[in-house]
């Protein structure tokens, strides 16, 4: 992705005249960055995660009371078997990929948009192949993985349906997928969740690096499909035997399925 700011500004039209239309094939102007809506441009997502990379693991531990690592291990148990070739998409600082390797996967590849996040991942497991890339344009052959995982990442892709298509494309027939993502809880935790996500996390953003990330996070969860809707999307994009379970009192959902 290129920075839109690197392009020359269009020439202003004379007074009283409408600006000339853009040349055929020209790219539209980048949308305004508005983290409070839960939507960012691709470059906005990349730069945001680059900024918060130094505190990303700490914030995960704090926000989940340390349960995020348990959820990652559960994801691996559900979809990875010994000897598998595994893709961990939107791998971030690499915890899910490392868990897959520890569980006996034969080969693990971690892919992420953010170079700074990958620097952290490489420090944890130099033996895993870490690739900077886009989930929407995976640089792999069709049917080349036995399993794929995404932990707390599909919510950040610009086109969820295309991301699901790409995951299906690179999986072998019958290959397993596990998608771990924050969701909106029901029941008693709903009030606590709203206090935590809508008040305390944005407050943390005022004192931590990459402050807008902590405004973006709760907003992105609100606009992301709920568990039932995500399960239907997965079924509509080539996955069978799709099920999900809520974890952490309902604040996280783990969806699994296979490449039909």
Task: Tell how far CA 78 is from the center of its chain.
Answer: 19
Return the H-helix or E-strand segment holding 146. Answer: strand 145-151
Q: Tens of pLDDT along 197-256?
A: 777 777 766 666 666 677 787 788 888 999 999 999 999 999 999 999 999 889 999 999
Q: What is the pLDDT of residue 34?
A: 65
Q: What is the pLDDT of residue 21?
A: 40
> What average pLDDT does the structure give for the chain?
84
Token pair for 157 = 């892709």
39-184+225-259 folds as Rossmann fold (3.40.50)
Which residue, 179, 151, 183, is CA-closest to 258?
A: 179
DSSP state letter for 73: H
Token pair for 250 = 């309902």
Integer angstrom CA distances of residue 136 from 42, 68, 110, 167, 215: 11, 25, 15, 9, 24
Proportion of the chain above pLDDT 90, given as a percent: 60
pLDDT category at 63 given cuts 50, 70, 90 is: confident
Residue 169 has phi, psi (to 5 degrees) of -60, -40
- For the whole model, what pTM was predicted? 0.82
Which residue, 62, 248, 169, is CA-closest to 52?
A: 62
Tell me what the mean pLDDT of segment 14-42 comes to: 50
DSSP state letter for 249: G
Token pair for 20 = 């000339």
Cβ 151 vs Cβ 180: under 8 Å: yes
260/240 Cα distance (integer angstroms): 5
DSSP state letter for 120: H
Measure the CA angle with vertex 39, ends 33 and 40; round to 5°: 45
- In the chain, domain spans: 39-184+225-259
76: phi > 0 → left, psi -120 to 50 → alpha, else beta; which? Answer: alpha
Judging by DSSP bridges, how do beta strands 85-89 and 145-151 pair with one another? Answer: parallel
């Amino acid at each position: 992705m290129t920075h839109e700011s690197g392009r020359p500004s269009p020439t202003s039209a004379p007074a009283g005249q409408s600006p000339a239309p853009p040349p055929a094939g020209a790219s539209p102007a980048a949308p305004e960055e508005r983290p409070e809506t839960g939507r960012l441009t691709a470059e906005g997502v990349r730069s945001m995660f680059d900024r918060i990379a130094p505190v990303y693991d700490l914030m995960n531990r704090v926000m989940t009371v340390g349960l995020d690592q348990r959820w990652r291990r559960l994801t691996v148990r559900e979809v990875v078997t010994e000897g598998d070739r595994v893709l961990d998409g939107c791998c971030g600082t690499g915890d899910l990929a490392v868990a897959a390797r520890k569980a006996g996967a034969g080969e693990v590849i971690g892919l992420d948009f953010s170079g700074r996040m990958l620097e952290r991942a490489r420090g944890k497991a130099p033996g895993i192949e870490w690739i900077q890339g886009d989930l929407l344009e995976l640089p792999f052959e069709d049917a080349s993985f036995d399993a794929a995982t995404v932990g707390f990442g599909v919510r950040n892709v610009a086109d969820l349906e295309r991301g699901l298509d790409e995951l299906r494309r690179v999986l072998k027939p019958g290959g397993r997928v596990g998608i771990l993502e924050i969701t909106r809880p029901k029941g008693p935790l709903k009030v606590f969740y709203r206090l935590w996500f809508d008040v305390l996390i944005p407050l943390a953003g005022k004192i931590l690096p990459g402050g807008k990330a902590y405004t973006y996070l709760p907003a992105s969860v609100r606009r992301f499909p709920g568990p039932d809707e995500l399960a239907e999307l997965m079924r509509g994009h080539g996955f069978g035997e799709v099920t999900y379970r809520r974890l952490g009192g309902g604040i996280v959902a783990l969806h699994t399925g296979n490449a039909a």
